[in-house]
Amino acid sequence: MKIKTYQKQVEQILKDKPRSRDNAVLLYYYVLQALNFDPKTLTTDELLTMMNSSVLPHWESISRCSRVLQEKNPELAGKKRIARLAHQDDVKNELGYKEHSP
């Protein structure tokens, strides 16, 4: 599945439901709802069968789509991602990494 297939739905969910920004399970739940599937009524067997037959998007595709959108649109990033990015700079400095100019 191409990332762009569900990009609009995922972007809208990230905008409308901020809790989904830090919770991939919740994001997938909302994606299923947006596709008119009721996650509360699906059995595990039905869910996996539909994912395997591409009726439903693969979990990894939705997760990747979310990461790409959050990278391009920092306002869609969750609190945990923002904290990780801030800590990343500290770790790079501590390890002595330097940015290289082209």
Q: Is residue 101 part of a domain?
A: no
Q: How far is CA 1 from CA 27, 48, 59, in A?
A: 17, 16, 11
Confidence of residue 102 (pLDDT cuts 50, 70, 90): low
Domains: count for the chain: 1
Q: What is the pLDDT of residue 2?
A: 59
User: pTM for the full model?
Assistant: 0.77
Q: Is residue 100 part of a domain?
A: no
Residue 67 to residue 24: CA distance in whole angstroms: 10
Mean pLDDT, rounded, of the chain = 87
Residue 87: how many other CB atoms lie within 10 Å: 10
- Phi and psi, residue 42, nearest 5°: -80, 135
* Structural domain range at position 74: 3-95
Confidence of residue 100 (pLDDT cuts 50, 70, 90): low
pLDDT digits (tens, 9 = 90+) for 57-76: 998 999 999 999 998 998 99
